[in-house]
């Protein structure tokens, strides 16, 4: 199913159609805040839409940039006001655009999984924090040269909050 967005910019009417290019068909099934480490997932690209050579050369890269939709979350979960991450009052209330969860306006996410293998239009990855059934809207190889430039800094709360995010479930 495609999403159509109509906008007007500088007097130009524009339509943006976004449709999934694939789906997560193997991996984690339960939605959770932590313990995403050690999970292997499979992204199946749309075989009716893409020829096999659309992934040619992808296996040469170690990581991908994957854009996906929190399509298993409810649009009613979206919150625009400042709030403490994970409802923890020990962390400061921060605005919608300081969060990376499903409560964002378009419920879009980005992940940077390691590419384990390319098997036709099936991409085996690890460190993808999307569950089985999640629709994939775009993917590309990660280029080091396109990563952050200059020093990266952040407040202390994301590190505290994500301490167990990539830990393996014990």
Q: What is the pLDDT of residues 85-143, one digit of tens each?
A: 888 899 999 988 888 888 888 889 999 999 999 999 999 999 999 999 999 999 999 99
Domains, the chain, with CATH or none = 20-144+153-161 (2.40.30.70)
Report whether pLDDT(29) > 70: yes
pLDDT at 97: 86
**Is the sign of the CA dihedral 155, 156, 157, 161 positive or negative?**
positive
Q: Which long-range contacts (C-beta less than 8 Å, at least 24 apart) are formed by 82-87?
A: 85/157, 85/158, 85/161, 86/33, 86/161
- Cα–Cα distances (Å) from 110 to 57, 64, 70, 128, in that order, read 22, 10, 10, 9
Answer with the residue of higher pLDDT: 41 or 4. Answer: 41
pLDDT at 3: 59
Give the whole-angstrom CA distance, residue 27 versus residue 128.
Answer: 9
pLDDT at 4: 60
Give the whole-angstrom CA distance, residue 103 versus residue 52.
Answer: 35
**pLDDT, mean of residues 146-161:** 93
pLDDT at 11: 67
Report whether pLDDT(1) > 60: no
Report whether pLDDT(7) > 80: no
pLDDT at 56: 98
pLDDT at 16: 79
pLDDT at 144: 94
Report whether pLDDT(74) > 90: no
């Amino acid at each position: 199913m495609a999403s159509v967005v109509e906008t007007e910019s500088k007097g130009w009417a524009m339509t943006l159609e976004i449709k999934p290019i694939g789906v997560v068909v193997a991996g984690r099934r339960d939605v959770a805040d932590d313990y995403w480490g050690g999970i292997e997932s499979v992204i199946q690209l749309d075989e009716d839409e893409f020829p096999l050579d659309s992934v040619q050369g992808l296996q040469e890269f170690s990581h991908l940039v994957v854009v996906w939709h929190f399509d298993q979350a409810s649009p009613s979960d979206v919150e625009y006001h400042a709030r403490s991450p994970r409802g923890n009052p020990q962390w400061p209330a921060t605005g919608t655009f300081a969060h990376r969860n499903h409560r964002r306006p378009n419920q879009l996410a980005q992940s940077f999984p390691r590419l384990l293998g390319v098997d036709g239009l099936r991409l085996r990855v690890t460190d993808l924090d999307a569950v089985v059934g999640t629709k994939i809207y775009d993917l590309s190889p990660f280029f080091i040269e396109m990563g952050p430039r200059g020093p990266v800094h952040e407040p202390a709360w994301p590190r505290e909050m994500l301490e167990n995010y990539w830990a393996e479930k014990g």
